[in-house]
Chain A
């Protein structure tokens, strides 16, 4: 995996952003930026060249799914892999995430190994599809 990949971690809870950032660091990804909701994240995504988005589901202003739909609707962003993070493991959530175009789905709490596996799968899939 390319360790220079630039991640955007989106969560309204700063402790959670820090947790995910730490986990990414454990995996060797040091290039990580943060956003506290979907709207802020979209602005950052449009401004900077990000390679991967890890986003929470439940956020004020703009939820993770709304952001996901906006990303998929944007010509310059729609290729971006988006890993959705949530505490829910409900079927309707997963269906909604899949329909909105999520690249993967991870349920809190998770370990670095789980995250690694999810990211790996998504990147592998992208590689094959390209």
Chain B
């Protein structure tokens, strides 16, 4: 049993909603730092804490109630202007929201959170009492003053009488009592279900309350799904009728035309239905973005920098799974921008830039892709420095570095083991840098690229497909066997003429739009014999690798649903899908296939075959 047996549903709802609310509160706190006197902001933040407190009360999480209660009281005074907001006080409040978030994390695991740090509670209480603000890391000894009084309920009946002058007939209270008499009330620690009693069994019975298994969907979208499935039902009936006709031998032009119409109609409907179902999983990316102003602010403050994070395109929608998977990479990129991208204020001033740096985080939909950009107006990156670094670290050889153009050189930051700062800072440089970000984005079938102008700043561009459920592919042929490659990697299709294939360092290459590209034979990559010379090439770009994949022919492009191969996992195969005629098509995992160094020679491509 968890601490919340029987309340799991309620708890999950509370966490989703309160989590969002806390995110908003966090952002408003960052806003408040800029406009400390804004009454509407103060009201909103007050209400946020108040609402979380209310919900926590019903879940009987006294630790959370206590902390929210103090914070709420503090904001009550701030909005009544009986207390002024100082940067130190804001830090105390910010650490309170951090602790609240930690408590949510406990609740997510179905465990009762521990009480907030005494020093924090004391600092809040001090501020409420109007004393000078304590630094949060103050010794715990000051905590004695910090027991939050949970007010007992006043006597409504008595008050009603005193206000209206009419004795309530239902009242069981014989005499009018002053409300104040009872406000001394109970203390939180007197509650029978307080923390101590539960601590013992907490570890043993941790039941995971998974927050992310539910989703909130606009009913309009659900209705669309319903309508379409209804229409598909009608189309099915039509096809059933036509089948009866056809089986009865009616194969006239009329019947065939009706069949054609019905199938086309069904085709459109199924497409629409797929779209509509996909839309039910789409969530605005703003829910992810809203965490970041706080992240950027905290970090900038600790580094002594002035940074403003500007968000745009928060309403852009993305598949729920993608949003979850994007959380870590984006946080890393935001931190990276603040830590490495942005200069110290003096350095900025010296360069004639405004002291406050701007980091922009934007999202927009372009066709069937979502583009996410993180740009900063910091110091930028020098391609030459990156080349030198990569060679020093032994990631590439000097020859490769020399032949690499600036655009490609910038992408070196995504190589494993590459870090532009020698000393890892507290925040972003932890050795698991940009290569992990890149791996995560690639897993989502996305692309990531960095652009930079030295002295003016860097921009990281992430392109993601709208959904993971449907993958656009190019179906190629090797002999009679079809294989699918993700369309996102395909640049163009070219002819391979034997006389145009040149050997460079013993490897076959060809010239495509004035670029020398290595030719990789699909047969060779999957370990098949090269039974005939390749006729066509697919110019593909997978990460830093730009190459021509040699194949025998094409089937066409298709939107497929990938089924993972559960038990057998052949190297280089991402999964399987069914083609229109019912045959199985393997979907290639190019990154994995290309992990092996090239082995083909020009001779192997064209002569062995004969």
Contacts and interface: CB of A to CB of B under 8 A. Distances in A.
Contacts of B169: 125, 128-129
B553 interface: no
Nearest to B169: A128
B54 A87 contact: yes
B153 interface: yes
B57 A104 contact: no
B535 interface: no
Given A89-B153, A124-B170, A108 B179 contact: no
Contacts of A12: 47, 51
Given A89-B151, A109-B58, A14 B156 contact: no
Given A91-B180, A109-B60, A98 B152 contact: no
B325 interface: no
A89 B58 CA distance: 16
Interface in A51-74: 56, 58-60
B54 A108 contact: yes
A95 interface: yes
Contact of B51 (A18, A58, A98, A105): A58
A62 B588 CA distance: 57
B137 interface: no
Contact of B163 (A60, A98, A107): A98
A125 B160 CA distance: 13
Contacts of B17: 13-15
A47 interface: no
Given A91-B180, A104-B156, A16 B54 contact: yes
Nearest to B152: A89
B50 interface: yes
A121 B157 CA distance: 10
A99 interface: yes
B114 interface: no
Interface string A27-61: 00000000000000000000000000000101110
A56 B57 CA distance: 14
Interface string B34-57: 000000000010110011011101
B371 to A, nearest CB: 33
Nearest to B58: A109
Contact of B55 (A16, A104, A129): A16
A95 B159 contact: yes
B284 interface: no
Interface string A90-130: 11001100110000110111000000000001001100110
A65 to B, nearest CB: 14
B393 to A, nearest CB: 51
B152 A15 contact: no
A19 interface: yes
Given A18-B10, A91-B154, A107-B153, A125 B58 contact: no
B55 A13 contact: yes
A77 B21 CA distance: 33
B51 A90 contact: no
A58 B47 contact: yes
Interface residues of A, number: 31
A128 B154 contact: no
A15 B169 CA distance: 35
Nearest to B12: A15
B18 interface: yes
B126 to A, nearest CB: 21
Interface in B31-90: 44, 46-47, 50-51, 53-55, 57-58, 60
A128 B44 CA distance: 41
Contact of A125 (B21, B50, B168, B183): B168
Nearest to A59: B47
Contacts of A59: 47
B405 interface: no
Contact of A15 (B10, B47, B159): B10
A82 to B, nearest CB: 13
Contacts of B151: 88-90, 107
Given A12-B51, A16-B54, A98-B163, A89 B183 contact: yes
B468 to A, nearest CB: 29
A22 B47 CA distance: 23
Nearest to B182: A89
A18 B7 CA distance: 12
A85 B46 CA distance: 17
Contacts of B159: 91, 94-95, 98
B13 interface: yes
B164 interface: yes
A99 B164 CA distance: 8
Contacts of A107: 151, 153
A127 B71 CA distance: 42
A12 B153 CA distance: 23
Interface string B156-199: 10011001100011100000000110010000000000000000
Given A108-B57, A128-B169, A98 B13 contact: no
A94 B58 contact: no
A68 to B, nearest CB: 14
B4 interface: no
Contacts of A90: 151
B606 interface: no
Interface string B8-29: 0010011001100100000000
Given A14-B13, A16-B51, A128 B57 contact: no
A94 B10 contact: no
Interface of A: 12-16, 18-19, 22, 56, 58-60, 87-91, 94-95, 98-99, 104-105, 107-109, 121, 124-125, 128-129
Given A13-B17, A15-B13, A125-B168, 6 more contacts: A13-B54, A14-B17, A87-B50, A94-B156, A104-B156, A108-B58
22 contacts: A15-B10, A16-B51, A16-B54, A16-B55, A16-B58, A18-B10, A19-B10, A58-B50, A60-B44, A87-B54, A89-B151, A90-B151, A91-B159, A94-B154, A94-B159, A98-B163, A105-B156, A108-B57, A108-B58, A109-B57, A109-B60, A125-B168
User: Which 8 A/B pairs are nearest by Cβ-Cβ distance?
Assistant: A109-B57, A89-B151, A98-B163, A109-B58, A15-B14, A125-B170, A107-B153, A105-B156
